[in-house]
Structure 1
Amino acid sequence: MKKTLTLRPVGERAEAPKIQKKGRGWAISGSRLDAIHDMARQLRREPDEAHLALAEELAKEDLGKYKFKRYAVIGSAIVDFASQSLKLVVALDRGDAPELERRRDASLAEVGIKVIRYDAAEVLGDPEGACAAVLREMKARYDELRAASRPSRPSYSRSGARPQRSPHTRARD
C-alpha cells in the first residue's frame, strides 16, 4: 500500500508543528527535500499571473541588499517570496488550503520569520499598490529587527548620577 500525505481533521490536530533546524533540510529526508526543491524550481519556471505581476513590480524597485527570492524553500514549505536577511515572507493567497497555510505560517513565525499575505486577485488588479504595501512591510520589518538588535542604553538612577565605569574600560576622549 502506498503512503500518502493527508491532513487530519482540525479537532485532532495540535498546534503548528515545530521546525527543527537540523541537517540539510530541518529534519526532512533528503529525497523529500529534493522533491520540494524540484517543485520550487518548476514553479519558478512557470509562475502564475499574480506571482509574475508582483515579481515584475519588485524588480523595478531598488531594494538594496534586501532582495526577494522567488518560490523559496524554507523547511518543507515553498513560499512565494522570501527575504532571508529580513526574515520576511510574502505569500499570495490563491484560495488553496487555508488551514494548511495557517499552520505553515505559525511554523515559520515560530522560528522568527514574519509572513505577510496578499490576495492574488488584488495583486493582479493593482500590482503597483501591492508592491508599495510590500515595501512598507519591508521598512517596518527592518526597523523592527534593527531595534531588537540594538544594545540597550544604560539607565540612570533617580538622582541623576551616571553609572560607574569599570576600572578596566578606557575613558573616551
Structure 2
Amino acid sequence: MTDRKTLSLDAGTAPNADPTAAWKISDKRAEQLKERARYNRRHPSTAHKALWAELDNKGVGNFAFSREVVMGSAIVDFACKTRWLVVEINGETEADTTIAALSDRKLTDVGVRVMRYDEADVLDDMDRVKSEILAELEKPFEKPRR
C-alpha cells in the first residue's frame, strides 16, 4: 500500500527567500482572486458591514480605505494603501487562523502593517477598534522600497 499524500500550506521557510515571490501569481489565479474579492464585497458579514460603515468616505482620520482588496496572493478585508496598513476581521476556524498567519507573514515581509480583530470586537467595541486603527495610521513608518 502506498502512503497517502496530504495537502498542506507551504510556510515558505527558506531563510533567504525573496519576500515578493509570494506576490507573483498566475493570471488565472489573479482573476480567481478578483472574482472572490468581488463576491466578498457583495456578501459582507455583519462585522464587515459595521467596520466598513466607519472606514468608508475617510471616516477614520481622513484616511482612504478600500475593502476586499487583492494584495499579492491574498484578499485583505480593508486596506489603506497610502499608509501600507491592512485591517482584517478574523474567521472562526482553525484553518482560517493558519491561513491568516501565513497571509500576515507574507504581507509583513514586504512592509505592509496588519491589524486583526475578532468579529465580536468589531461589533461590541467599535470605538476601541477605530481608535486603535487611527493610532496605527498616525504612526510614522518607513515606506518599503521596491
- TM-score, normalized by length of structure 2? 0.79
Q: How many pairs align?
A: 134
The answer to whether structure 1 residue 20 and structure 2 residue 17 are counterparts is no
5 Å-filtered alignment, 1:1-173, equals 6-8=7-9, 13-15=11-13, 18-20=19-21, 26-59=23-56, 61=59, 63-64=61-62, 66-96=63-93, 97-140=96-139, 143-145=140-142
Aligned partner of 2:109: which letter? Answer: E
Aligned partner of 2:112: which letter? Answer: I
Give runs of ≥4 in structure 1 deviating > 4 Å.
Answer: none
Quote the Cα distance in structure 2 between the aligned partners of 1:6 and 1:77. 19
Q: Report percent identity of matched pairs.
A: 33
Consecutive unaligned residues of structure 1, counting only runs of 5 or more, are 149-173
Instruction: Give the drift of 1:128.
Output: 2.7
Quote the Cα distance in structure 1 between the aligned partners of 2:60 and 2:20. 33
Consecutive unaligned residues of structure 2, counting only runs of 5 or more, are 1-5
- TM-score, normalized by length of structure 1? 0.68
Instruction: Give 1 or 2: higher helix fraction.
Output: 2
Q: Deviations over 1:81-116 (max 9, x none)?
A: 011111111111122421221111111111110111
